[in-house]
Amino acid sequence: MIYIFGKELFLIRKYQKIDSTYTALSQRVKEQYDTSRRRNYFPKVKLSRNSYDDYTLNYTRQNDSDSFHLRENATILMLVRNSELEGALDSMRSLEDRFNNKYHYDWTFLNDVPFDQDFIEATTSMASGKTQYALIPPEDWNRPQWINDTLFEERLRVMEDEGVLYGGSKSYRNMCRFNSGFFFRQSILDNYDYYFRVEPNVKYYCDFPYDPFRVMRLKGKKYGFVISLYEYEETIPTLWDAVEEYLVASEETILRKEDSAYAFLTDSGLVGKHYPVVEANSDYNLCHFWSNFEIGDLNFFRSDEYKHFFETLDAKGGFYYERWGDAPVHSIGVSLLLRPDEIIHFDELGYFHSPFGTCPASYAVRLDQRCRCKSDDESVIDITPHSCLMRWWKNGSGKYFLKEEQDEI
């Protein structure tokens, strides 16, 4: 009995050893041909839809945890209230995961009241880089004394009664004026060259394939955006009148219209299948860059040319008597004062700010950058009738269908 049990035990161990040997050999063979057997994330195929690139992506994702990335002289910038902490943390987590965990750029937070300790502790813990907090001076935030309070309150009631978006909000007007002409004057930003504006409750759908700050510097860009759309005309009924006065007064000191992106602001012709979805009451077609995502050169905004542009508009009182937004003001300013090739559309960056988003059109790029979006999602605005992106392609810096070489940037 003992002999039989011992023989069976010997045979069991023998077969287990054989199984283990074959398993190891099979595993080695399987791994040897993994690249040809599995569906590669980076196939040698033509980039799909909205791309004419016939060469492979030629890119292999690597573990960046031990890599050292040079940083530009830049900061991530958020204007935020203490009460918006949860939305701020959501945005921070998204951008850290998709971009900043490799670079550790500083986070700069601005508020018109002091930040509380809970906000400072939570955001400091979420950031991979240094965090810093600044209180906006009252003279940069509050309604200026020269605004007629009686007229202001009357216009506030009228716009609220008419259902204009944020038409009855005083703080929103302060915010728009601040973002248009004062954010870049904050002393906490004095030592930086670039900023990346981030708002609470936004999402970044894809891994960033490059450092956008580095792209800005190496390619001589002054302003970057991801979404362009039409403004609500009822918020800016006289804005273009003020712009036209500025153009006449500054004709000798700014770019000629044909050298700037003026046509982007005024072209109301057919683009593809679409005319503008709204018929404007002025030469301004209402197109603007959605400024909740913008990456900019602070030295451009600090320039005498931009400050003169802002101060000319500000003197009209439209930030308060109407509800001028910083998005059309920034967009008109950069379009008039910069060459089209100094403005960049970051078409490989996926992004969402309710209710609109943008997502790379190429299926291969979405795999490459681990995107969590689809280019045909209802929220994706890129080539819909209410987007101005195609109008930018036509009148701005064009549309490029070749993916940037990774080692160039």
Q: Report the candidate in 40, 37, 38 with the shortest Cα–Cα distance to residue 56.
A: 40
From the number of C-beta atoms within 10 Å of its C-beta (0-12, 13-18, 19+), residue 383 rates as: middle
Q: State the Cα–Cα distance between residues 330 and 333, nearest whole angstrom.
A: 5
Q: Report the candidate in 178, 394, 173, 198 with the shortest Cα–Cα distance to residue 292.
A: 198
Q: State the Cα–Cα distance between residues 345 and 398, nearest whole angstrom.
A: 9
Q: Report the candidate in 258, 249, 197, 261 with the shortest Cα–Cα distance to residue 225.
A: 197
DSSP string, 76-88: EEEE--GGGHHHH
Q: Are 298 and 184 in contact (CB under 8 A)?
A: yes
Q: Which helix (H) or strand (E) holds 24?
A: helix 2-32
Kind of pairing between the strands at 351-353 and 203-204 = antiparallel
How many secondary structure helices (H) and strands (E) does the chain include? 17, 12
Q: State the Cα–Cα distance between residues 296 and 212, nearest whole angstrom.
A: 10
The two structure tokens encoding residue 174: 């302060």
Q: State the Cα–Cα distance between residues 80 and 283, nearest whole angstrom.
A: 35
Q: State the Cα–Cα distance between residues 267 and 281, nearest whole angstrom.
A: 13
Catalytic positions, please? 294
